[in-house]
Structure 1
């Protein structure tokens, strides 16, 4: 079952998040296991499986990184559990610099932290735009590399949030 088809959406990187959420609620109402409480065991199990499938599809389509990975999966390129590393040495060097910067922040660096967070967000936005155009052009290997970079940037956002929490709580 194709997640885009389940939500009646075109297979594109840019997804109408409002439509996605509305369709999710409609599907969940239709297949929620509680509605099948008085049905047979097999029908209840089927509803539970369908509800789980709807949840998985929704979580995948609402997240830009997971959505891009899923689009690659649809064309036969599964990068989810791969062990392949990024070969972009410039980006790898930049990763090291960003990690050093993150580790160096102190309570006195609130303005620097804000600027760092804005830089990360800008990088995420640029990567998402790049991924959209790469997918549109069927540049799947390039898309995979961009997704690897996006994963790092999203992880860096989380690490920054944890660092801020540690410094300011």
Structure 2
């Protein structure tokens, strides 16, 4: 059991070095170079230029520093690396960070800082969007553990589940009134709540295969949610 856990932890460390989940790890020389590049401020050359915690600015010249490629979304948004996330605190952190690094506040700064600001802002937006929704948060957490769900896979879904999805899709297609559409929406929302609770328990038990199975089912229901949104748009 420990051997499997060790392999997972090793994979997580490799992904940290890569900066983006799913990419291969940096070589030792590349990793050293990356650490070296972030050890000093790009503008004044002073120490402490790395982005540590919320210190996005050089402590000496206050120039905005480039994004830290080693930070994952949980670290960036000051969240524990867990499926259970306080979305209220997440929203507050998002607003706090955007008040620091949004491009609107750098219109009179150097082009370098403008570019860094755009990169920071885009990264914070993506991190917030990913961690806010249970499905994308779970998928991202799996990625950090070296596990991905391939697009288009049925993940060996059982026949009963696939029949359920088919029936709900047919019911939505046949819905001719707002009340009928809301009935389907209520069914889908209840299933997503059930699956969210289940995947949370799976992550708490480090049962990543179970989490993968549940998240795959959530993707099916997420597709139905998108169809419901389209059905609500007036023609």
**TM-score, normalised relative to structure 2:** 0.64
Structure 2 stretches of 5 or more lacking a match? 1-70
* Equivalent residue number for residue 198 of structure 2: 130
| Greater mean alpha carbon deviation, residues 124-133 or residues 112-121 | 112-121
**1:119 alignment counterpart:** 187
Question: 1:39 pairs with 91, 109, 130, which one?
Answer: 109
The offset of 1:60, in angstroms, is 0.4
Larger relative contact order (Cα-Cα within 8 Å, sequence gap ≥ 6): 1
Note the alpha carbon deviations across 1:76-132, whole angstroms, 9 max, x for none: 1122x534223122211111111122222223xx55443322211110100100111
User: 1:162, CA displacement in angstroms?
Assistant: 3.0
Cα distance in 2 for residues equivalent to 1:50 and 1:106: 45
Partner residue, 1:29: 99
Q: What's the CA shift for 1:57?
A: 0.3
What is aligned with 1:12?
82
Regions of 4+ moved over 6 Å: none
Displacement of 1:140 after TM fit? 1.2
Q: Work out whether 1:147 is the aligned partner of 2:176.
A: no
CA spacing shift, 1:164–1:25, aligned 2, 3 Å: closer
The answer as to 2:151 corresponding to 1:82 is yes
- The structure with the largest alpha-carbon Rg is 2
Aligned residues: 164
Equivalent position of 1:67 in the other structure: 137
Q: Scaled by the length of structure 1, what TM-score is found?
A: 0.87
Cα deviation, residue 164, structure 1:
4.7
Q: Which has the higher helix share?
A: 1
Taking the aligned partners of 2:109 and 2:119, their CA distance within structure 1 comes to 15
Q: Over aligned residues, Cα RMSD in angstroms?
A: 1.8
The answer for the alignment partner of 1:96 in structure 2 is 166
